Amino acid sequence: MRERDIAADVDLVIALLRRSPDIEAPELRAHDAADRLLLELAATDHVEALVGLEVVVIGDTHGALTLGALALGARHVRVHQDSIVAERALAENAAALGLSAFSHHPLAEVASTDARLALVRLPRALDALDAIARDVARGSDPEVALLAAGMVKHMSLGANDVLRGSFGRLDVSLAKRKARALVARSPLPAGEIAELEPARARDGDLGLDVVAVPGAFAGASVDTGARALIAALEPFAGHPTVGSAIALAETRGLGNGEAAILVLEENIGPVRCAVRGDASGARFAEFDLPQLPEAVLLKADGALLAAALGLDPHDIGFENHRPGGWSGGVPYVTIPVSGLAAAARARLDTGLWSQIAPIRPNGVPASAYVYCRETIGHDCAFHARMFVGGAPTYEDPATGSAAAAFAGQVNAFDQPLDGAQAFWIEQGIEMGRPSRIRLELEIAARAITAARIGGNAVRVAEGELLA
């Protein structure tokens, strides 16, 4: 096939490709010069390994390599794409072109002894290229040729050494349209190619063991963005704890008769959970508070709190209850209001709130926990709403960490009798996502000696994490 005919065939396919669901714009294309170079080299220098045979493609960004190989005569393409966006772009373009002879595989399984050609987009990270080279060399036909291409400005000489670690011969193409290809042949015997172990390191500041698969950004270290994210994580959260405990019990077949005890490791420390079920199959989980509530300094008065919630000053408080600040691991401002009507009118002004609320260690204002004695459910003791203190604010339908803080407020103003006291809190009704949280206190000499939070959970979705 003449070079001009090959270029025309390649152009015919890639001109029809779209980037969707990736970002689309007039100046953005679903292919680049490296894709074109790989397809042209495959059709000219490696046609005997392409036409009518199986081909391996790794790192296809939008489908140009996979669909281009099929258009040039490949019988079937085995594809590995790390990005889910890339997978979906390939699927959309394949449907539009009516091409379907390809299959997706994990990197460790993408190579095939039936394939003698592998088309690879050069990854930025050399350890990622090392993993690709090892897997292709170990799992392919001895005659396989690995063609790896990228834009010249992103390539480094280190890639040559990486490929030589798994192949006996390496050739470099001439640059074309600012792209260049590396051609590796003669794979070393599989027994001489070791598995590439993940990089591992201990981060003493965070107390984490970091394991990085090849190509992971920042390797086996925690970058600045990840540190900021970890710092923003809550020490613990109630309804994820309840849901996780119930999910684990279901998975392991526990809690159908006697209560199952599980211990979850959270940022605040180990959290002991008990899960039990009934004849209907519904499961209830409760957990011991890992930290008993402690008072948090609140300087704002009722008038300021009312203004921040869009309420009148007379809406704040009922009976002997007055606003307070409490933390059971996560700080909250607990604000009693006169009844359901006042609770329904509450709207958080984040600008004013940020000026009057206690500031958490992560720099975010403590959230607002608005509650009243009047309830909708006849078996509930309190009605509550929780507004997140940061901007933009949002309302949470069920907040176990807020109930943990609220335990301190209840003990301070209701002064329960010694012994075990339990009651239900309703939340999330105004936002159309009603929930019920059970709070149990153990009281001795007017002090909380232990507390538990519990509730039911149902499965609303499920999925599978892919490596």
Inform me whether the pLDDT recorded for 121 exceeds 70. Answer: yes
User: Measured between alpha carbons, how far is 413 from 257 in angstroms, rounded to an integer?
Assistant: 38
Write the pLDDT tens digit of every residue in 17-49: 999 998 888 888 899 999 999 999 999 999 999
Instruction: Identify the pLDDT of residue 14.
Output: 80
Instruction: Identify the pLDDT of residue 453.
Output: 93
Average pLDDT for 255-276 = 84
Instruction: Identify the pLDDT of residue 442.
Output: 96
At CA 30, angle to CA 22 and CA 172, rounded to 5? 125
The token pair at 371 is 């509650």
Write the pLDDT tens digit of every residue in 422-463: 999 999 999 999 999 999 999 999 999 999 999 988 777 777
Radius of gyration over every alpha carbon of the chain, rounded to an integer in angstroms:
30
Write the pLDDT tens digit of every residue in 197-218: 888 888 877 777 888 888 877 7
The token pair at 93 is 């373009």
Phi, psi of 176 (to 5 degrees): -145, 125
**Average model confidence (pLDDT) for the chain?**
90
Write the pLDDT tens digit of every residue in 58-117: 999 999 999 999 999 999 999 999 989 999 999 999 999 999 999 999 998 999 999 999
Inform me whether the pLDDT recorded for 1 exceeds 60. Answer: no
In 122-164 the beta strands, taken as DSSP E runs, fall at: 145-151
Query: H-helix or E-strand containing 258?
Result: none
Domains of the chain by start residue, with CATH? 3-192 (3.40.50.150), 199-232 (no CATH), 235-467 (3.10.310.10)
Write the pLDDT tens digit of every residue in 213-265: 888 777 888 887 777 777 666 676 777 888 888 888 888 877 776 788 988 88
